[in-house]
Amino acid sequence: MADIAASSARRTTRRVRVAASAGIVGAVLLAVLLVPPLVQLDQQAVDLAAKLRPPSLEHPFGTDDVGRDLLLRCVYGLRVSLLVGIVAGLTATVIGTAVGALAAASGGWTDRVVMRLVDTFSSVPHLLLGIFIVAMFRPGVGPVIVSVALTHWLSTARIVRAEVLSLRSRPFIDAAVSGGASRGRVVVRHLLPAVLPQAGLAAVLMVPHAMWHESALSFLGLGLPTHQASLGNLVQSARGSLLAGDWWPTLFPGLFLIVPTLALAGLAGAWRERINPRRRSELML
C-alpha cells in the first residue's frame, strides 16, 4: 500500500509539474506575441527623469539606467531570445539528424570518419567555438543563430546515430531490404520516421540551451547589438546598477531567462518519459 501511495504521489507531482510548465510556456508565448502589438509604447524611449525607479504600479519591474520600462524591455528581450532559441534549435536538430542518420545508414568508413569529426568538434568548448564564429560577423541575430546551430548539432547526431544503429537490426528493416528497397528508401521511409520522436525531443531541449548560449554571447558583448533588447544585453547593461544597489534591472531579466527555460525543460522531461516507457517505469520504482 505504501508503494502504491508513493507511486500515486509521484504521478500527481509529475502532472502538476507538467501543467505548471505548460502554463508558463503558454503565458510566455502569449506575452511575446500579444504585448508588442497591443502595448503602444516604445521600448527604446529614454526618460532620464525616470531612470532607475524601483518597481511600482506605473512600472511593475521598475526602470533601467536611462528610464526605459523594464517590463516592456524584458518582453522584447524574451521575444528575441526565443526567436534565436527556436530557429537555432531547429537548425541544429536538422543538421544533427541528417549527419547521424547518414553515418549510421552508411556504416563502414563513412561512419567512422563522420563520428571522428563529431568527436573533434565536441572536444572544443561550445562557447569558445561560438565566440570564434560570431567574431567573424557584425553583431546581429543571424550570426548568433548560425553560431548556436553550428555548435549544438553534435549531441543530436550521436543520439540519432545510436537510434538508427539500433533500428537497423530490427526485422522490419531486414524485410524491407529483402524486398528490394534501396538504402535511401529504407532511410527515408523507415529509419527517419522512427527517430523523429527522439529528434523532436532534442529540438525542444535545444531551445533553452540556445537561449542561454545567446545570453552568454550577448553578455560578453559578442552577440546582439547593445541597443537591441535581449535578455543577455539587459543583464549585461545592469551590472553597474547592481553594484550601486539597484537590484531590479538584473533580477527581472534573469527571471525571464531562468523561468521559461526551466518550464521548457520540464515539458521536455515529460516528453522523454512518454517516449521512453522503460525510463518512466524505472523512475517510478
247-281: pLDDT as tens digits: 888 888 888 888 888 888 888 777 777 766 554 44
- pLDDT tens for each residue of 14-46: 778 788 888 888 888 888 788 777 766 666 777
Work out the angle between the directed axes of helices 192-219 and 70-106 (0-180°, nearest 10): 140
Q: Is the pLDDT of residue 182 over 70?
A: no
Q: Locate cell 564564429: which residue?
A: 133
For 69, the 3-state DSSP assignment is strand
Question: What confidence score (pLDDT) does residue 219 get?
Answer: 83
Bridge partners (DSSP) of residue 69 are 63
- pLDDT tens for each residue of 39-68: 666 667 777 777 888 888 888 888 888 888
| Spatial separation of the C-alpha atoms in residues 9 and 123, rounded to whole Å | 42
| Spatial separation of the C-alpha atoms in residues 153 and 163, rounded to whole Å | 16
Q: Is the pLDDT of residue 141 over 80?
A: yes
Residue 272 identity (one-letter amino acid): R
- pLDDT tens for each residue of 188-198: 777 777 788 88
Could you give phi then psi for residue 40, rounded to 5 degrees? -85, 65
